Chains A and B, each alone.
Chain A
Amino acid sequence: MYKYVFRRLMLAVPVLLMSSLIVFGLMRVMPGDALTALMAESGNVGEKELKKLRMDLGLDKPYPEQYALWVWQMVSLNPGDSIFTNEPIPVALKKAVPVTLELATLAIILGLVIAIPIGVLSATRQDTAPDYVGRVVAVSGLSLPDFWLGTLVITFAAIWFHWIPPIGYTSLWDSPWRNLQQFLLPAAVLGFRLSAATMRMTRSTVLEVLREDYVRTAWAKGLAGRFVVYKHALKNALIPVVTIVGGQLGTLLAGTVVVETIFALPGMGRLTVEAILYRDYPVVQTNVMLVAATLVTLNLMVDLTYAWLDPRIRYR
């Protein structure tokens, strides 16, 4: 097991290095740079000042040197300052990461709360009205754009219930109720989207497992229906569901970009979009690398949960 984890971690290193090269390369071929954006903001800056600024920020160095310096900064957990706001990147991340983390966690919880019961219901009542409704909900979740759903939810909450989410971000520790009010709608929008694929997978795997011999035995010995479904069938049906949830983490992180923009939440997604628009290399590079590293780690964790769900699985 430890050997397996170690090998997977070692395999992640070249992948992350390659991702860093892609991100670094992309940022360097961008038309214009942060200084051009800064000049546009602060009026005309002389050629001399521009040269000095470029030197101070290390943008005059050859690309390999800039790359090596950045990788070293990332490894030593000191990714530098934002070119645009001068704020140290760890400080910006310290504010943004908890927002995205909370949004993503709530979305996953809501997604599972929607998906698993409906998926199980769909499977146990196959080809009946609840099954058709569940399947329609799942397919629409895959097709409705989250930015559209977000826009509709905000507007109709305002029109029908005369309610809009509180403006200005409040942290969970300062005011849990106000924070929940701010996060509930965006998390529901993201969660609904996530629930679609999970619901479809839960339905098909529960259907498969319900036809297994051990489930028939459980029925035959007279166990209660709910007990057979939730205790015997669902646990084994959950393995492919975990794979689907793991595979959706990328969708989730991308979804936060859109949802944070619509609901004005100051998370990683919004920070990245703003940094891309201002060509703020260090911030974009750090954020994208952080997301890539998170995805690689989470995928490893998803693989490790298989053994917990099915003790027959052993890692070599």
Chain B
Amino acid sequence: MATVTARHADFAEPVGAWGRAHALWTTIRRKPLGAVSAAVIVTLVLTAVFADVLAPYDPVETRPEIRLQALSWAHPFGTDDIGRDVFSRIIYGARISLWVGLLAVGIGTVAGMIIGLLCGYCEGRVDLVLQRVMDAIQAIPGLVLALAIVSVLKPSTTNAMLAIAIVIIPGNSRIVRGAVLSTKQNRYVEAAHAIGCRHPRIILTHILPNVTAPILVIASIWLGNAILIEATLSFLGLGTQPPTPSWGLMLSSTGRAFMEQAPWLAIFPGLAISLAVLGFNLFGDTLRDAWDPKLRRS
């Protein structure tokens, strides 16, 4: 009887897109922090998309005559050491951060998902070998690995993004593998085998829809981390290169050098990074509460 109830509970979970959207909406309405994080993310996305319209100045235009100007109506976040408007650079920086975050997490999630699906579905030798490779990648701290990869590929925004994607793969593959292993035990997968469904069909139509919730939850939390790693790589001079406006680069290039004279050069990019990371972390928590309460402890 207990088994039947458990199976019923499995089917009762909101698996479809509409059910998930409804669960998310209910959680956001119940938890104000969820609503705040969603608002932060929407603002960030809109800022990135409409940077051309929102930014009052060209982010790379230099005007030495107004260098290191304090906050004013004309320049709400002041100007940097070569007279560039910090507010405009932060607005354009949102574009870089979001672009790197989305692509890195996208690539890392898809690759991690494919490996996790293969490992969880095939098990045996494929699982053993691939998981040992994942262990080996995870044995090296993410930032150190990203640093080494970026040095191999030459420092640039695209390569920083690729490096972050590689760092993301092992953790994602493990979560997907675990979810696949548990989904595989369900009767409907057994039934699909029994009626002669081919493996790709079982994976794509019976297993994949059941593992998307943990994937999306982890991806949203990783977005914040990806933004943080990109900023760190740029801060160390191995990410986005000047004069492209990146929050991490703004902090390392001018923020540190003129910290005492012009503290706004370091304060605003740092605040922007923190706000974006905070938004994604909190939104990840909200998604987890809405879609996958079992993940709360992981």
* Segment with Cβ contacts to A, from B15-23, B146-154, B192-200: B146-154
**Interface SS of B by simple majority:** helix
A288 near B277 with CB under 8 A, answer: no
Q: Which residues of A contact B137 (CB under 8 A)?
A: 19, 22
Q: Does chain B have a CB within 8 A of A36? A: no
Q: Tell me which of A140, A152, A254 contacts B143 (CB under 8 A).
A: A254
With an 8 A cutoff between CB atoms, is A296 at the interface? yes
Identify the closest chain A residue to B142 (Cβ).
A254
Q: Which residues of A contact B74 (CB under 8 A)?
A: none
Are the CB atoms of A250 and B142 closer together than 8 Å?
Answer: yes
The residues in B between 246 and 264 inclusive whose CB is less than 8 angstroms from any CB of A are: 248, 251-252, 255-256, 259-260, 263
Contact B259 A151 (CB under 8 A): yes
A151 and B149 form a contact (CB under 8 A): no
Residues from chain A with a CB closer than 8 A to the CB of B152 are 26-27, 29-31
Assembly CA distance A147 to B135 (angstroms): 28
User: Which A residue's beta carbon lies closest to that of B146?
Assistant: A254
Cβ A18 vs Cβ B151 within 8 A: no
* Known A-B contacts A14-B132, A152-B266; A253 and B144 likewise in contact (beta carbons under 8 Å): yes
Set of chain A residues within 8 Å of B161, measured between Cβ atoms: none
Known: A155-B259, A291-B144. A143 touches B132 (CB 8 A): no
B139 x A145 contact (CB < 8 A): no
| Interface: B207 (CB within 8 A) | no
**CB-CB contacts below 8 Å: A239-265 with B:** 240, 250-251, 253-255, 257-258, 261
B236 contacts A143, C-beta separation under 8 Å: no
Contact A152 B270 (CB under 8 A): yes
Interface readout for B126-150 with A: 1 if CB under 8 Å, 0 if not? 0000001101111111111001110
Nearest CB in chain A: distance from B236 CB, A: 7
Q: How far is the CA of A53 from the CA of B252 in the complex (A)?
A: 36
Instruction: Among B143, B269, B273, point to the contact of A257 (Cβ < 8 A).
Output: B143
The proximity string for A residues 17-46 relative to B, scoring 1 for CB distances below 8 Å and 0 otherwise, is 011011100110111000000000000000
Q: Is A223 an interface residue (CB 8 A)?
A: no
Q: Is B27 an interface residue (CB 8 A)?
A: no
* Overall SS of chain A's interface: helix
Q: How many residues on B have C-beta within 8 angstroms of the other chain's C-beta atoms? A: 44
Chain A residue with Cβ nearest B252? A147
Q: Which of A22, A148, A257 contacts B140 (CB 8 A)?
A: A22
Q: Does B281 contact A (CB under 8 A)?
A: yes
B232 and A258 form a contact (CB under 8 A)? yes
**Cα separation A143 to B52 with both chains bound (whole Å):** 27
Bound form: Cα–Cα A31–B263 in Å: 37
Q: Could you tell me the distance between the alpha carbons of A292 and B140 in the complex, rounded to whole angstroms? A: 5
Q: Which of B265-295 contact A (CB under 8 A)?
A: 266-267, 269-270, 273-275, 277-278, 281-282
Query: Contact check: which of A22, A148, A254, A276 meets B266 at CB < 8 Å?
Result: A148
- Within A295-310, the residues touching B (CB, 8 Å) are 295-296
Q: Closest CB-CB distance, B68 to chain A, in whole Å?
A: 15
Residue of A with least CB distance to B266: A151
A145 touches B273 (CB 8 A): yes
Pairwise interchain contact B266-A15, C-beta atoms closer than 8 A: no
Bound CA span A232–B42, Å = 45
B235 close to A (CB within 8 Å)? yes
CB-CB under 8 A from A272, the residues of chain B are 144, 147
Contact indicator A30/B132 (Cβ below 8 Å): no
Q: A15-B132, A19-B139 are in contact. Are A155 and B263 (CB under 8 A)?
A: yes
Q: Mark A142-162, 1 if CB is under 8 A from B, else 0.
A: 111101100110110011000
A139 interface hit (Cβ, 8 Å): yes
Which residues does chain A contribute within 8 Å of B282, judged by CB atoms? 139
B141 engages A295 (CB within 8 Å): yes
Q: From B270, which residue of chain A is reached at the shortest CB distance? A: A148
A19–B140 Cα distance when bound, in Å, is 7
Most buried by B among A18, A19, A143: A143
A145→B228 contact, CB < 8 A? yes
The answer to whether A16 touches B139 (Cβ under 8 A) is yes
Q: How far is the CA of A291 from the CA of B270 in the complex (A)?
A: 29
* A-B residue pairs, 4 tightest by C-beta: A18-B136, A254-B143, A148-B270, A143-B278
Other than the given A139-B281, A158-B260, 20 more pairs (CB < 8 A) read A16-B139, A19-B136, A19-B139, A19-B140, A23-B140, A143-B274, A144-B274, A145-B248, A147-B231, A151-B255, A151-B256, A152-B266, A155-B260, A159-B260, A250-B138, A258-B235, A258-B236, A261-B236, A273-B236, A288-B144
Complex A-B: 26 CB contacts under 8 Å: A15-B139, A19-B136, A19-B137, A19-B139, A30-B151, A142-B281, A143-B224, A143-B278, A143-B281, A145-B228, A145-B277, A147-B231, A148-B269, A148-B273, A151-B256, A151-B259, A152-B266, A155-B263, A158-B260, A255-B143, A261-B236, A272-B147, A273-B236, A288-B148, A291-B141, A292-B140
